[in-house]
Structure 1
Amino acid sequence: MTAATQFIDATVSRHIGTYSDAVAIPACAPQVVLSGTPGLRPDGTRPGDFAEEAGQASDNVCEALRCAGAEPSDIVQVWSWLTARGDIDAYVKVRKDVISHRPAYMLAVVPQLIRLSLRWESEVTTVVTHSAAEQHE
């Protein structure tokens, strides 16, 4: 049995948001790394409303994790980029709907993403703490 992933509170993050200051990953733990994932629908279109785009981005992350044998509870680090400061509250609401633990986080507001119409993109890293058999029980 491998050691568990440790979410570390060094007292800084608690003053800013709901995330850990550090995450200690056990040696040889299986990891899944997701590329930047935007809120595009399966047909490639972007929802008009930011809250819907944020929800679609989260759905896309969850689907990619599922395809890789991971789940949201396995997330240990998240990097997110928004293109408008005014969208932070909607982003946080969607994030809390998907992630209930405290992974390491980075959120930035940037002038634009590679596809100019996109307003949110996230990358995540997971440490898979369950077996494929457990996933299908």
Structure 2
Amino acid sequence: MTVGFSNPPGVRPPAGGRYSHAARIPAGAERLVMSGQIGITPEGTVPADPAAQIAQAVANLGAVLAGSGLGFADVIKVTVFLTDPALIGLWREARTAAFGDHSPASTLLIVAGLADPAFLVEVEAEAVFPA
């Protein structure tokens, strides 16, 4: 099964080329829909450092994927919530480290806050199981 990622003509190319405007999922593909992952450690602590918190959110996403036998290359859509536009660069670094050249469909939102004032980032994702 092959997921088709595309950036069709008539739409401005993605900023930095690090995401795709669309992901075409083949009929019958099994999907994994993941809840938002925040930068909280398995022990329940929230790093105060923004880079560490973003890295932890990405690590948590990786653990959820791995728990279903998947990896970052299987992700088809990412939605990222940041509480400060100053965090965009840190998010992009973490995204590149995790996803490499894989460019799933993506939405980035700057929000007034998350479920706890200590949370700076939340990352939701959807993935497709290989055939």
Give the structure-2-normalised TM-score: 0.92
C-alpha distance 74-46 of structure 1, shift in aligned 2 (>3 A)? same
Aligned equivalents of 1:56 and 1:15: distance in 2? 26
Q: Deviations over 1:9-29 (max 9, x none)?
A: 114352424111100001111
Which residue does 2:6 correspond to in 1?
8
Q: Tell me how far apart the structure 1 counterparts of residues 59 and 118 of structure 2 sit (CA, whole Å).
A: 19
- Report if aligned partners of 2:14, 2:20 keep a CA contact under 8 Å in 1: no
* Corresponding position of 1:41: 41
Conserved in 1, the CA contact under 8 Å of 2:82 and 2:111?
yes
Q: Percent identity?
A: 31
The match for 1:133 is none
SS state of the match for residue 26, structure 2? coil
Unpaired runs of 5+ in structure 1?
131-137
CA contact (8 A) 1:13 1:20 kept: no
Aligned residue pairs: how many? 128
Give me the TM-score of the superposition, normalised by structure 1. Answer: 0.88
Q: CA RMSD in A?
A: 1.3
Alignment match, 2:96: 96
Q: Match of 1:35, SS? A: strand
How far is 1:115 from its partner?
Answer: 1.5
Q: How does 1:1-137 map to 2 (within 5 A)?
A: 2=1, 4-11=2-9, 12=11, 14-17=13-16, 18-100=18-100, 101-129=102-130
Q: In 2, distance between residues paired with 1:76 and 1:49?
A: 29
Structure 2 gap segments, 5+ residues each: none
